[in-house]
Structure 1
Amino acid sequence: MYQNPNEQEQDKIQKHEEYRTPNTVTLNIVNDKKLNIQSLMKSYQLSLSPGSLSLYFYIAYQFIQEKNYENKEKDLQLLLLEAIIADRVDYVSAMLQNGVEFNYNHFETLYNETLKCQNCRAKDCRKIHSIHHRISADVCEQIWCTCKGKQKSNTGNVSTNCKRHVARPLTICNSGRLMCQQLLNYATITGEIRPGKVHPQTDEDEGYFHDLLAWALFTNRVEIAGVFWSKCKNQLLTAVMASSILKNMANKATSAKDRQLYKELLDHSRLFEERVVHMQSSLYDEIEYDAMSLMEKKDEVWGIQVSPMTCAYEHNMIDVIGHPCIQRHINRIWYNEQIFSSVGTSEAAAKFWDWVGNVFVLNGRKRLIQAWFSPLMKFVIHYIFLMALIIGFSAFVLTELNIISGISDIGIYEWLLYLWLFADLQEEFLFPILIRPRAHLCRRWKHTFLFKLKRLVFNVWNILTLLSHLVLIQAIWMRIKNSSDYHRATLRLYSLGLFLMYMRFLQCMIVHSYFGPKIIMIGEMLLELFKFVWILIIFMMCTGVLYHANMYPSHYDMWSPKGVQYWRIWKIIALPYWQIYGDLFLDELQGENNVVNGTCTFVRSEWEDHPGTYERCVEYDWAVIVIAAFYMLITNLLLVNLIIALFTSRFEEVQKDSDKLSKFWRYSVITQYRNRHPVPLNLLFLPWRIWRNCCQQQCVCKKDDVNTVSQETQNLHAVKCLYIESMKTK
């Protein structure tokens, strides 16, 4: 039967439609003629998930781009939200590059979909939520969604166990910033964030990219965090703070279950630190003077105003502080100080001999003031006075420490010691508490007390300073008692205080290129020794107890009432301790010295009533010799050689990083003497410092007006940094 060609073609199309594979969910949504174009993304959102194929995002993005309708911008923002949740870095980058903006109203959905923990108390949780809960439980409950499920109560209202949904005094973005402040060891900034405050979207504000970066750091999204970082303002400072946040998060993941999370967070932190170093190098090579000024320029990120250089030092970023960009800037501060400028650096002296020429007016009178008010001059004068004090203190301890019968018995050396101690107490404690913070009344940011305490405790020079003050104050109090009973104890305390003063004098060598690394090595070796000494103490105690139990069986006065110096604990420790250094004490262990010394007795009443005159005689036991043989074998052949091997390994590690470590400590000394005066001349400068503090109260809120790197230049180098990273991964 003849059939029209058009009819044949229609039959083929009909048969093809019958055997055609059903459309996917996405195509069904797009081809649905009844679908309202304004609700496209609301319907399409149901088909998206973190495991969705890239084709889904491609179809949705192309469909929205090709159609012109009223809610096109909202649909693009919703697609951007889903791409961020699904960690589709390529689509996020493309949409941000084409001008798609993130909607602030989507932050709550973003946090709800990515930061969830069902009824988690963070007691034994392997999720990242436990880290934030350890930082600040109150702020964490304002960020994390712990909804187990919404249930209707008897009144018909929807109830939930999630505190963030029940009571929300702060917006989710502000809560994220509060968490960043906590992770950076800053106290809550009450003047920056107020309950119910809506985040403004203005050009002067930080923008939503800092809030998106905070979310990416909380969830440890490595690639997408790099995208948001490149879009932030002041990428250099932001990278320093992001690295510090991740490092502090990693330090909280210390349990055995969190070792993998610890490694991931630490690697992410190092990635941001590498970005900082890369931007430092590229900016320093291109515009060196502006790059150096940028390192000291304060800017505000996450509600905290700080400079990149200060933030890197506070969080021990050794590679950043040791970079030539900062070190050269520090040298300009070290040798010169423009006391009437907002940023006290200049090129008047580039090295030590230039500074010497400026001091003696060999290079003109204009540079004389900068040299004499420089931190180096304060440093030199301070340690000249300290050296003179140590010499006079030594003479005082050796010759003049007698019982005071009148004020004439107090010599000149002792008066100078008291004057210096009073001035040093003012400079170390009174000035930082009462004077220096008053020059920052307009600031709303400050470190937490716990952070300040850690900085104090883990700094060996601060510990030496505090111990020397406590010892000398105790010695002065006992000297005022003016009793012969305390004379020997007073002499011991003054001697110990003098020893601590000598140790404090070593700090002046930190700034020297040769002695600085050596001082660092000594400190690291001492730290390694203190860790190992606990093993030695265990061996010494167990061996000493065995010695004493067999040499002096049934001993009664372990804690002699005659004095602390007669307690038996010193006898227990003495023999095994000195045996570590090779002294065998075989005669004493076998009791052969009982007759030789003539000061021991077997009469209990004599050695108990006269512990300083008579000692209990040793009762020989062959087991003591056996114990001594095994103890000497373990300590001299095993433990001593083990600690030598540890010292060798540690020395090689420190040797590699000694230059960076010395530069890091040198930075701390320079910045310290930039804000302090030499002791005891600081007492003369006290009225001037108070006057300067009061005059600066009206201008501290102004931003530094210095020439630094433009934001466009930072944007360019940030993009280059990400490009180099992508090429390395390939």
Structure 2
Amino acid sequence: MLCLYSSLSDCDLVSSFLQRRLQERVGLAASQTRLTPQPDDNSSFKSQATNLTTPSAARDLTLYEVSRVLSEIMEDVCQPFYYTTLGLDHRVNSRKAMKHVNKLLLNESTYRRQRCTSPWISLFIWAVLQNRREMSLYFWKMTGESVLSALAGCKILRELSKLETETETKLSMKELAQTFENLAHDVFSECYQSNEKRSFKLLIRQSPIWGGATCLQMATSADARLFFSHDGVQTLLSEIWWGDMDSNTEVWKLVFSFFLPPFIYTKLINFKVEETDEKAEDFGQGKEFDSTDGAETLADMTNMDEDVEECNALRGKPKASKVIAKKRPFIFHRWRQFWFAPVTSFLGNVLMYFLFLFLFAYVLLIDFKPPPPDGPASLELVLYFWVFTLACEEIRQSFFVGSTTLTQRMKVYIQDIWNKCDITALGLFVLGLLCRMFPWTYNFGRAVMCVDYTVFTLRLIHIFAVHKQLGPKIIIVGKMVKDVFFFLFFLGVWLMAYGVANQALLYSYDSRPGWVARRVFYRPYMHIYGQIPLDEIDADKRHDKRCTDNVTLIHEGAEPCPDSDANWLVLILLSVYLLVTNILLVNLLIAMFSYTFNKVQERSDVYWKFQRYNLIVEYHSRPCLAPPFIIISHLHIFIKRVIQRLPSLKSQHFMLDLTSKETSLLNTWELSLKENLLSTESKKKRESDTERLKRTSTKVDSVLKQMVEIRDHDRRLRKLESEVEYCSTALSWIVEALSQSDLVKQTRPPPYPSKGIASKRPTFSR
């Protein structure tokens, strides 16, 4: 693998990252092994210092640099690659890791003898980093964990496309990333059609090859919206969302049970525990898995208790949880089933949040008393405690949720826009609380509290994201807010141009900063909505006794009179300003809104399903009680996790750790279905109209080529025939000539007459 990464081109993006990390490690190695300078020869010392302080092995590219680059690309999705090969822990910092690698390189033979545990995955990563389409697709076909590997390739390519500067390369990366997302979607669809329960396990199992990552985590990080739109993923999310309750339960029944908890133990709410237990017992009695095409032998290899474990795992229970659930009393068991469902936590938070907003509004409007000793009132103290519990929950989400390092958890927390909204709301509340405690800042603190109430109210938008109709509309509103910022930029240019000119023409002698800013920005902005002061434009207040031109009186508070000298120019500027803003810019904004709405509306279902996953994960990790009672859940979690050190059972809903045997069987099942899918697609591709046209065109080309050859042969035969005909004509002429010469010889008289023997002898005369 090192030879492959060392052979990268210097102009390549990944090569620049690797060289940067290599220089950091080489610099640390040089600082660790310094030589003592020789006073007699400085030049020889410098040459030795450059060569000996950094050994040749330390200057070579190692798997540590590759792991650093992959960790930057993959972020906190999975643990760093090749750390196990190098003998490192993923929790160690980069400086200690570099020191360990430099020490390891001193014993180069031991380091070189280590083999790669997953060669096909390593080759796949290398091909994806190089953006080699054919090679990456071939290596993906050879790898195991096909769905997760395809999502990982999608993640890597989309992150690299953000850093790539060349447009053509960026487009090819995005296209290949979309190809891998489609492959992940197709393979999982094949798995879901084969076995629903096992496909759920495929989504939440932790991969030892990809650093403990799951398919859902990788798809979220890769922004694979198409993958989340699959019915199998949404079915799993619905099961997690409703817990042990029936997904067809009406919301009013849940709300009714909030206020009257005894109805939990009635048949008002349907629970599916009995049905799941019956299935588990049936499986335990000897029922086998549903076999699939190409994987019939897998059912014989699998233990009979595996589906029982699948049911328990999807319900957030360990392998022996069935026995524990039977030993638990019915009262506590049913209570736990109701309150530990994410939908219950969500509805409880919604109801209590509305109550919180009502209390906040009541305090601001009626019960907001002056600073101590008069205030704050008792309800305001309740409000402070309520906000304190909200702050405790935000601290828990930022510092104690996730298995990565603290820096990575904070980074993930800050990236969420709604977490930024929560931080802003809590920060403004603390500022308003500090200011309202002092008489000289009381009014400012009250104003900050009013603004903070607006931020808390806007936080309600995130709650309605789970709704199938309102969720896509919230996404559309978020996209339109970005369009508004572009509109405000163009509007600000025209507003500044008109406002300054209008102020300079009408009130050139009024130098009060507050009124100048008001007339330059506020009044031109209100002109867009039709509030045009015609009395100022027409300058009829010149004859009004209530206005004055005296600068001294104006500074004392008198109203200035507008200047009527440039009244005609003001009217022209106002006409042009209203023409551009009300007709051009406003219609441009409407067109942008229409384009955004149509663009998002086409894929609103895909957007909503992706957003729904994030909301389910958030409320799945929340405690069952809502603020302010959430402080009880926090104390309970602290006792169980810190003091008793008991693991969380709810974490198995999204992260399932399987044994090596179960992982091997699951990979075999996934691989067989992938082979079926690839063979089916290749068959469809061969039978498709495009391939038929290609084959037909190939045959037509071969026929045309043969026709050309036949025509060439025909032309040659005709030429040969003409030559043979010419030769035959010549031969016939020669034969005829020879025959005529023989005939002439035969018809010719003898040269000497025969008159006896003596006359046969010729006579000669001189």
Please, what TM-score do these two structures have when normalized by structure 2?
0.67
| Offset, 1:168 | 3.5
Q: In the alignment, which residue of structure 2 is the partner of 1:310? A: 217
Q: In the alignment, which residue of structure 1 is the partner of 2:753? A: none
1:715 to 624, 647, 671: 671
**Where do residues 247-326 of structure 1 align in structure 2 (5 Å cutoff)?**
247-253=158-164, 255=165, 258-302=166-210, 304-326=211-233
Any conservation in 2 of the 1:250–1:266 contact (CA below 8 Å)? yes
Q: In the alignment, which residue of structure 1 is the partner of 2:553? A: 606
**Where do residues 515-530 of structure 1 align in structure 2 (5 Å cutoff)?**
515-530=470-485
2 CA distance for matches of 1:597 and 1:352?
Answer: 73
| Offset, 1:402 | 3.0
Q: In the alignment, which residue of structure 1 is the partner of 2:436? A: 479
Gap change, CA 1:593 and 1:134, over 3 Å in 2:
farther
> For each residue in 1:35-57, what CA deviation from the matched residue of structure 2 results, as whole angstroms up to 9, or x when unmatched?
xxxxxxxxxxxxxxxxxxxxxxx
Helix, strand or coil for the counterpart of 1:111?
helix
| Offset, 1:718 | 3.3
> For each residue in 1:669-692, what CA deviation from the matched residue of structure 2 results, as whole angstroms up to 9, or x when unmatched?
111111122211221122221122
**Where do residues 157-306 of structure 1 align in structure 2 (5 Å cutoff)?**
168=58, 172-186=62-76, 191-192=89-90, 195=101, 196=104, 198=111, 206-253=117-164, 255=165, 258-302=166-210, 304-306=211-213
| Offset, 1:464 | 2.2
| Offset, 1:178 | 2.6
Report whether the alignment pairs 1:498 with 2:446. no
Gap change, CA 1:216 and 1:723, over 3 Å in 2:
farther
> For each residue in 1:400-432, what CA deviation from the matched residue of structure 2 results, as whole angstroms up to 9, or x when unmatched?
22313425x332331221011100001012x23
- Count of aligned positions: 564
Q: In the alignment, which residue of structure 1 is the partner of 2:498? A: 543
Q: Residue type of the partner of 1:456?
A: I
Gap change, CA 1:271 and 1:494, over 3 Å in 2:
same
Gap change, CA 1:703 and 1:335, over 3 Å in 2:
closer
Q: Residue type of the partner of 1:181?
A: S
| Offset, 1:541 | 1.4
Helix, strand or coil for the counterpart of 1:510?
helix
2 CA distance for matches of 1:331 and 1:659?
Answer: 15
In our comparison, the structure showing a higher alpha carbon Rg is: 2
> For each residue in 1:44-88, what CA deviation from the matched residue of structure 2 results, as whole angstroms up to 9, or x when unmatched?
xxxxxxxxxxxxxxxxxxxxxxxxxxxxxxxxxxxxxxxxxxxxx
| Offset, 1:590 | 3.5
**Where do residues 373-392 of structure 1 align in structure 2 (5 Å cutoff)?**
373-392=340-359
Report whether the alignment pairs 1:583 with 2:500. no
| Offset, 1:361 | 3.5
| Offset, 1:433 | 4.6
Report whether the alignment pairs 1:110 with 2:54. no
Report whether the alignment pairs 1:639 with 2:585. yes
**Where do residues 408-557 of structure 1 align in structure 2 (5 Å cutoff)?**
409-429=375-395, 431-436=396-401, 440=403, 445-446=404-405, 449=408, 452-453=410-411, 456-457=414-415, 459-483=416-440, 486-553=441-508, 556-557=511-512
Helix, strand or coil for the counterpart of 2:562?
coil
Q: Residue type of the partner of 1:499?
A: T
| Offset, 1:287 | 0.9
1 CA distance for matches of 2:112 and 2:176?
Answer: 28
Report whether the alignment pairs 1:137 with 2:20. yes
Helix, strand or coil for the counterpart of 2:158?
helix
Q: In the alignment, which residue of structure 1 is the partner of 2:657? A: 704
Gap change, CA 1:228 and 1:464, over 3 Å in 2:
same
Q: Residue type of the partner of 1:601?
A: T
Any conservation in 1 of the 2:496–2:520 contact (CA below 8 Å)? yes
Gap change, CA 1:387 and 1:634, over 3 Å in 2:
same
Q: In the alignment, which residue of structure 2 is the partner of 1:398? A: 365
2 CA distance for matches of 1:724 and 1:535?
Answer: 54
Q: In the alignment, which residue of structure 1 is the partner of 2:519? A: 571
Superposition RMSD in Å:
3.6
Q: In the alignment, which residue of structure 2 is the partner of 1:148? A: none
1 CA distance for matches of 2:521 and 2:614?
Answer: 40
**Where do residues 312-351 of structure 1 align in structure 2 (5 Å cutoff)?**
312-336=219-243, 348-351=245-248
> For each residue in 1:364-388, what CA deviation from the matched residue of structure 2 results, as whole angstroms up to 9, or x when unmatched?
7555522221111111112211111
| Offset, 1:111 | 2.9
Gap change, CA 1:206 and 1:527, over 3 Å in 2:
farther
Any conservation in 2 of the 1:142–1:172 contact (CA below 8 Å)? no
Gap change, CA 1:655 and 1:723, over 3 Å in 2:
same
**Structure 2 stretches lacking a partner, 5+ long:** 27-42, 91-96, 105-109, 258-262, 272-329, 692-766
| Offset, 1:507 | 2.2
2 CA distance for matches of 1:177 and 1:658?
Answer: 37
Q: In the alignment, which residue of structure 1 is the partner of 2:627? A: 679
1 CA distance for matches of 2:428 and 2:18?
Answer: 36
Q: Residue type of the partner of 1:505?
A: L
Helix, strand or coil for the counterpart of 2:208?
strand
Helix, strand or coil for the counterpart of 2:366?
helix
Report whether the alignment pairs 1:352 with 2:249. yes
Q: Residue type of the partner of 2:668?
A: E
Helix, strand or coil for the counterpart of 1:618?
coil
Gap change, CA 1:276 and 1:704, over 3 Å in 2:
same
Q: In the alignment, which residue of structure 1 is the partner of 2:266? A: 361
2:562 to 618, 626, 641: 618
1 CA distance for matches of 2:380 and 2:19?
Answer: 50
Q: In the alignment, which residue of structure 1 is the partner of 2:637? A: 689
Q: Residue type of the partner of 1:299?
A: S
Helix, strand or coil for the counterpart of 1:710?
helix
Please, what TM-score do these two structures have when normalized by structure 1?
0.70
Q: In the alignment, which residue of structure 2 is the partner of 1:62? A: none
1 CA distance for matches of 2:537 and 2:639?
Answer: 71
Helix, strand or coil for the counterpart of 1:685?
helix
Gap change, CA 1:176 and 1:723, over 3 Å in 2:
farther
Helix, strand or coil for the counterpart of 1:109?
helix
Helix, strand or coil for the counterpart of 2:212?
strand
Gap change, CA 1:695 and 1:720, over 3 Å in 2:
farther
Any conservation in 2 of the 1:226–1:722 contact (CA below 8 Å)? no
Q: Residue type of the partner of 1:423?
A: T
Gap change, CA 1:170 and 1:662, over 3 Å in 2:
farther
2 CA distance for matches of 1:266 and 1:672?
Answer: 29
| Offset, 1:164 | 12
| Offset, 1:270 | 0.7
1 CA distance for matches of 2:394 and 2:461?
Answer: 18
Gap change, CA 1:395 and 1:596, over 3 Å in 2:
farther
Q: Residue type of the partner of 1:279?
A: V
Gap change, CA 1:705 and 1:411, over 3 Å in 2:
same
Any conservation in 2 of the 1:420–1:679 contact (CA below 8 Å)? yes
| Offset, 1:139 | 5.5
Report whether the alignment pairs 1:128 with 2:12. yes
Gap change, CA 1:174 and 1:351, over 3 Å in 2:
farther
Q: Residue type of the partner of 2:65?
A: S
Any conservation in 2 of the 1:160–1:166 contact (CA below 8 Å)? no
